[in-house]
Amino acid sequence: MIEELLQGRIVEEISLEFEANSDAMDFVLSNNCFDLVLSYKFEKLGHVKTRAFIFKNIYRYIYGRESRRMRIPSYGRGVIRRIEVDKKLLDSFFAHTPLGDEQVFTYVVDVLGAGVIAVFSGDEVAEVAPETYSSVKFFD
């Protein structure tokens, strides 16, 4: 089923290397959902910008197991893919999970190398203060 979810149209792909110096990349589970906080620096047109995002209420699949708390490794390389997927496929995948009527899951975030696949609603993404979190740098 995971493979099917990842077949959707990729709308954004970020290659990155990350170094966590705090709890910035913790996944904290609460009522079958969790928040992913990810911050990164990127250089574009000669300007270095720092951005941080928090993805609220993410349902996730981690190596086929549930865990109360997990961390992305403190250093690593990976790819984050935002993937548009079919709503019916998501409904099927989360059939065992009580989803609220207002929650419409439209994207999959695939964090390679971290064993994490997070599904979230695009309108539940908010930018947060970057200095609170660790840095993630793009690489070619």
Burial class, 35, CB count within 10 angstroms (exposed 0-12 / middle 13-18 / buried 19+): middle
Rounded Cα distance between 42 and 44, Å, is 6
Instruction: Note the pLDDT of residue 91.
Output: 61
Which tens digit of pLDDT belongs to each residue from 73-88?
A: 444 444 555 666 666 6
Break the chain into its structural domains and give their ranges.
2-138
Residues contacting residue 111 through CB under 8 Å, at least 6 positions apart: 72, 78, 79, 80, 117, 118
Region 93-115: what's the mean pLDDT? Answer: 43
Which tens digit of pLDDT belongs to each residue from 16-32?
A: 444 444 333 443 333 33
Region 45-70: what's the mean pLDDT? Answer: 37
